[in-house]
Structure 1
Amino acid sequence: MSNVYKTYDYSQIPITQLRDKDRENLSKIANFTIRNLCENNNSNLLIFSQQLDIHHDGIADSYIFTMDNQKLQTGDLLGFIGINDSQITISTRFSKNDIEDYFLHYMLQKVFHINLLDLQHSISNDRIFDFLTYMFPFYLKRALKQGLYKKYTTKNCNNINVKGTINISNHIKNNTPFTGKIAYRIKEYNCDNDLTQLIRHTIEYIRDSYMSAILQTDADTVAYVSQICNATPSYDKRALNNILIKNRNPIFHPYYTEYRILQKLCIQILCHKRLKYGVDNNRIYGLLFSGSWLWEEFIHKTILKECGFSHPQNRARKGGIYLFNKNEADINFVVSRCKRYPDYFKENFILDAKYKHLDNNRIDRNDMHQIISYMHVEKANIGGFIYPKSTMDIMVTKLGDLRGFGGVIYNIGVPIPQEKETYAMFSLEMTNIQEELKRKILDLS
């Protein structure tokens, strides 16, 4: 029977609370970076953000948790991870109790554009993989915007219109005595293939679950679901195992790039019970979110975008700032090495998102140096940090006036409700906080 330990980000579990067997199992995950685990082909472990190095903020080289002789220490990662029959659930430090984590659900709703309030909001072991279903419409839409996935498939035919290679064994089997038909194989470039069938099986699985409403969150989702169903006339519920086997290898296609994450997501949704309760030795499985990445995306989508801030995209090389004037340095050097990507900036304001504890206004020296550098290069008069906090008042703290070229640095604390009885009440309070915070940030500008 699985043993589940529940904890929070940036928290500790005394080593004495772990069973000897669990300590042995979890030591195989502990002190390994996310990059290490991903490179070791742990296909049953899904981590968001998928682009781990997108912000050069060390996410890929951070640990899910560390262990020594005294304690198990968690960090930035949220969600669920296990090996063999030992499992850990990591909630946000703002969750009300061990069952509900409204804040994590709320960030996921905003980042992945989920517009439902009547879904389950538990982060218990039995529900953790439902987060996968939350994200299905988001990645379905991203993939289908590239068009329906097409590939060559082999089709067996038996008629008089021979177009491909004659299938001698089938011809003898099906057309003896000769009836005028010819058995043959033909390769067709079509949409009814192993990958679209996998997506169709996922759609039907969700339709039969209590989360079926997720397929009707908006008009685009409804349209894309219909498009997949129309493109897969050969769908057969009994063929699921065969379809999963055919999708064991991830797709690599220069055009259909968004389908790779959708493929993995579908496999996780369809196999989640097996992932949790399988018996493969030393099998690492789970679903993890970077708290820093979620917080950064959440703040932009709910607050800063409406305040006029840009949110650079490191991996896409969009929206960054240059350290040197282009006309005063070698352009190749400037573009490749001297472009930087603040979390958010606009004409006179640079902001850096921090998910870690900043309640005491003690800023890491490297973070402080970075924000001052950005302010200097952009000639910005205002800079600062924005972070989540547990006390229920918006804190805009002036850290000080910079010497030299001047400028002011602020620390902005965003309160996260913790005593709301329902998710709807939590969402309403968060909406009010967001509106007030927008006004305060605009006043600073």
Structure 2
Amino acid sequence: MIQIVDNYNLLNVDIKTTKKDREDYLKNNRYCCLSSSKTLKELSISLQDYIEKSSDNTFFSFFKDEGKKELKNEDDLIISIKKDSQDNYLAQTGNYVGKFFWDGLEVDIKSRFSNKFLERMLNFTNDIYLDDVSVSGEDTKELDISRFIIYYMFVQNLEKAFLLGLPKAYKSINYHDMKVKGKIDINRFIKNDIPFKGKISSTSREQKEIIEIIDVLYKAVKIIDNSSFSTKNISHIKTHLKQNRSNKYVSNETINKAIKSKALQNPIFSPYKKVLEYAKYIINGSDIKQKENASQETYGFLVNVAELFEIYVTKLLAKEFPDWGVSSPKIELYNTPSMFYQRKIIPDIVMIKDKEVMVFDTKYKRMLFRGRDKFGSGDVDRNDFFQINTYMSYYQNHKNNYNVKVGGLLYPFEKEFNKNICYSENWFDNSNTKFIIDGIDLSGDIENQDDTKFSEILKRESSFINRVKGLINQT
């Protein structure tokens, strides 16, 4: 078994120490791989390899735009393990977290940050900006990180959607009573009520909750209940689902019927589309987990945390700067039929107010402010650097429409932020535009809990927002 964290870069996997030493190192450092020399092997797995390997491999993306999802994930590295000349194993991982099996080798990739920061990002993804909202419970550290994310999204979205009740559709309900409900059912009346015995067969069109949706939701909730994840926030919903479920087996056909229900076309019930999507992942993920003791060679469940970080930063900026338009536009380059090299570029975050523009790309990568001289290429990836400059140049070349005020890369920091080495006063000798490295400072202890669950993270967010406000106010 290999236990590792995302964005783990070529650190030795020690297979010579005792099991207890390795477990202690993992516990204290959060950056260690555990394995035995019998199972460890050289490998290189990209997202495409993972998806093509087996239909049992599940990948969850936060992006709804298929074009953006494909662009952001193409050829992305999941994990690479290589042997050096001294028979030491070197590991490298990308932006994916979760657990999967690969040709008999179990790989468990966790987040390098705490679950608290994950919860904060997930809240923003669900458009919940309160300072103390948490649905996870206290004993989720051992839960697979990918399942933690899906469970969190499901419970929070179900709680919001249920405020307006469960989806309903009109159904014909048959009655045989002393009173007519709806209209008399002539066929049943002739067959059952002549001679008249005091009761009348009738049929009424009534709105009823959709049983397939109830069954799918209840199945997902029961799976979560069997984990360490808390469902106390939706205990009233569990009670209702339990009382109204059908007790039938929840098959793929049941799930598809629930997801394709016409009732979800009603705007009131449209939030359940997302809830049922998460339920599908939970149920399918549970079916995969049940194969763990079988001889299955490959199965797993992965989540791209880089997507989550991008959505979190985008919504944080949109929330704090309501006067600015915040988007991620698709820009067509050389878009004429004769140009075979036409391309789309998609900046992560473009903020526009009147003609003023700020252009950012989020990068869920390690940032310790290491330069290229002493540490190879350094912490700023060469491709990322040229990419953001391309985005800025596009807007700068449309001077009649835009004035580029700021551009740069936004990271989650693991070292205390230092403005002096991150902010350039000019961009390509243009003193009217600044180039920056910035983001959310996650160095030190972010687990301190004062009045609210996310009190320390709130301070780091506030510092970032204040720096952006300072950039806007500069002339």
Give the TM-score band, short-chain normalised.
0.5 to 0.7
- Could you tell me which of 409, 412, 415 is aligned with 1:391? 415
- Could you tell me which of 368, 389, 395 is aligned with 1:368? 389
Does residue 198 in structure 1 map to residue 216 in structure 2?
yes
Does residue 307 in structure 1 map to residue 333 in structure 2?
no
Secondary structure class of the residue paired with 1:266: helix
Tell me: CA distance 1:368–1:299, structure 2 relative to 1, closer, same or farther (3 Å).
same
CA contact (8 A) 2:97 2:146 kept: no
- Could you tell me which of 349, 352, 360 is aligned with 1:343? 349
**CA distance in structure 2 between the partners assigned to 1:195 and 1:283 by the alignment:** 30
Query: Which residue does the alignment assign to 1:51?
Result: 64
Structure 2: which 5+ residue stretches go unaligned?
16-34, 84-89, 372-378
Once the two structures are superposed, the pairs formed by residues 110-129 of structure 1 within 5 Å of their partners are: 110-112=124-126, 113=128, 115-116=133-134, 119-120=137-138, 122-125=140-143, 129=147
**CA distance in structure 1 between the partners assigned to 2:343 and 2:160 by the alignment:** 30
**CA distance in structure 1 between the partners assigned to 2:45 and 2:240 by the alignment:** 43
CA contact (8 A) 1:159 1:181 kept: yes
Does residue 106 in structure 1 map to residue 120 in structure 2?
yes
Query: Which residue does the alignment assign to 2:299?
Result: 284
Tell me: CA distance 1:369–1:420, structure 2 relative to 1, closer, same or farther (3 Å).
closer
Query: Which residue does the alignment assign to 1:31?
Result: 46
1:440 offset after TM fit, Å?
Answer: 1.6
Deviations 1:28-78 (A, max 9, x none): x923428x6189644x62513153646468333143524354344310112
Does residue 80 in structure 1 map to residue 99 in structure 2?
yes
**CA distance in structure 2 between the partners assigned to 1:32 and 1:134 by the alignment:** 24
Tell me: CA distance 1:249–1:282, structure 2 relative to 1, closer, same or farther (3 Å).
farther
**Cα RMSD (Å):** 5.0
Q: How high is the TM-score relative to the length of structure 2?
A: 0.64
**CA distance in structure 1 between the partners assigned to 2:254 and 2:5 by the alignment:** 34
Tell me: CA distance 1:248–1:137, structure 2 relative to 1, closer, same or farther (3 Å).
closer
Secondary structure class of the residue paired with 1:311: strand
**CA distance in structure 2 between the partners assigned to 1:301 and 1:291 by the alignment:** 15
Query: Which residue does the alignment assign to 1:429?
Result: 456
Query: Which residue does the alignment assign to 1:133?
Result: 151
Secondary structure class of the residue paired with 2:133: coil
CA contact (8 A) 1:165 1:185 kept: no
Q: Which has the larger radius of gyration?
A: 2
CA contact (8 A) 1:323 1:339 kept: yes
1:435 offset after TM fit, Å?
Answer: 1.5
Tell me: CA distance 1:184–1:394, structure 2 relative to 1, closer, same or farther (3 Å).
farther
Bigger Cα displacement from structure 2, 10-19 vs 431-440:
10-19
CA contact (8 A) 2:135 2:156 kept: no
Does residue 243 in structure 1 map to residue 250 in structure 2?
yes
CA contact (8 A) 1:148 1:191 kept: yes
Q: Aligned pair count?
A: 399
Amino acid at match of 1:59: K
**CA distance in structure 1 between the partners assigned to 2:169 and 2:426 by the alignment:** 60
Deviations 1:128-180 (A, max 9, x none): 634333112443367669984456889898889985999xxxx9xx9xxxx99
Tell me: CA distance 1:66–1:183, structure 2 relative to 1, closer, same or farther (3 Å).
farther
Structure 1: which 5+ residue stretches go unaligned?
217-221, 315-319
Query: Which residue does the alignment assign to 1:67?
Result: 80
| Overall identity of the aligned pairs, in % | 15
Q: Which has the higher contact order (CA 8 A, sep 6+)?
A: 1
CA contact (8 A) 1:394 1:413 kept: no
